[in-house]
Amino acid sequence: MKKGVMRPGHVQIRVLDMKEAVEHYTDLMGLIETDRDVEGRVYLKAWTEVDKFSVVLRETDQPGCDFMGFKVLNEDTLVSLTQDLKDFGLEVEEIPAEELKGCGRRVRFTVASGHAFELYADKEYTGKWGVTEVNPEAWPRDLGGMKAVRFDHSLFYGPNLPEVLDVFTNVLGFHLAEQVMDPDGNRIAQFLTASMKEHDIAFIHSDKPGQLHHTSFYLETWDDVLRAADLISMTDTSIDIGPTRHGLTHGKTIYFFDPSGNRCEVFSGGDYTYPDHKPVTWTADELGKAIFYHDRQLNERFLTVLT
């Protein structure tokens, strides 16, 4: 948080069928629906999040991610970071307050990998879901499904990783926590954070811009990852891979797909980082182990997305 960016605050995901999508993110994953808007978008949050929403679902004919937003400390930070983005040479677009219900004004910009990001300072504070503000119990008894704890990060695929790294570290104050380097010294994966988390956002190189690899949610334990895997089977949900561990970040994870084909991750654990930590480096010849620590090879679906 060297320059006042606090956390991934929201992500807008495109889905093909809203009813199925809501069922996936609530009944299966345990998110809570908090609102809908006149455009038909559905707002969701995980129970530990204090703001009104973290996931917005938009129905359309092409899955993927519209944009990801980061919450900053306050309006002053928003103003100064906006100027820094402009000085860096990026175009910024003003999204007025309430374009997303309960959210203050947002400043949107698109980086060289083809992904749109936003900064904002204000969102309606609704408090954690299902627990009291005073003398709160450890968890709400009526959580469903996977009991997702929070929206954690996104992984994107696209070109021009050096420019993207430049923006996130030098303009937004993130630091590089983990990386994959090829033999020629090219960084083919970069995991960036504004906090202690090993990644608030991550990028893997791909020639095609603007791709979403997955949207990730935190779970409390490895037992919860097993419960998630069991629920995936019980609901006949399409699984990608897991339960397993990543080499990068060492998180314990499972990948699966929402009914529109967007990949979701739930995970627990993983390493922590501080700005003085040297980036953790994996070499491209160990990419299989870096991604899937136990199988030590990429599964076909993962490769399909890479190329």
- Residues lying near its own copies in the complex (CB under 8 A) are found at 1-2, 4, 6-7, 48, 50, 71, 73, 125, 127, 133-139, 141, 150, 195-197, 220-223, 226, 229-234, 239, 242-245, 247, 250, 252, 254, 269, 271-272, 274-278, 280-283, 286, 289-290, 293-296
Give SS3 for 77.
helix
Rounded-to-integer distance, Cα 45 and Cα 28, Å: 14
Residue 74 has a CB neighbour count (10 Å cut-off) of: 11
Rounded-to-integer distance, Cα 231 and Cα 29, Å: 9
Give SS3 for 161.
helix
Q: How far is the CB of 251 from its own copies (least distance, A)?
A: 10
Phi/psi at 56 (nearest 5 deg)?
A: -120, 125
The residue (of 86 and 128) whose beta carbon lies closer to its own copies is: 128
The residue (of 166 and 271) whose beta carbon lies closer to its own copies is: 271
- Amino acid at site 190: Q
The residue (of 110 and 169) whose beta carbon lies closer to its own copies is: 169
Residue from 24, 157, 214, 293 carrying the catalytic annotation:
214
Residue from 153, 198, 205, 218 carrying the catalytic annotation:
153
What does the DSSP assignment read for 48-70?
A: T--BS-SEEEEE-SS-EEEEEEE
Q: How far is the CB of 207 from its own copies (least distance, A)?
A: 26
Q: How far is the CB of 233 from its own copies (least distance, A)?
A: 5
Residue from 24, 115, 213, 246 carrying the catalytic annotation:
246
Whether 277 is catalytic is: no
Whether 246 is catalytic is: yes
Rounded-to-integer distance, Cα 199 and Cα 33, Å: 26
Whether 199 is catalytic is: yes
The residues that are catalytic are 153, 199, 214, 246, 255, 265
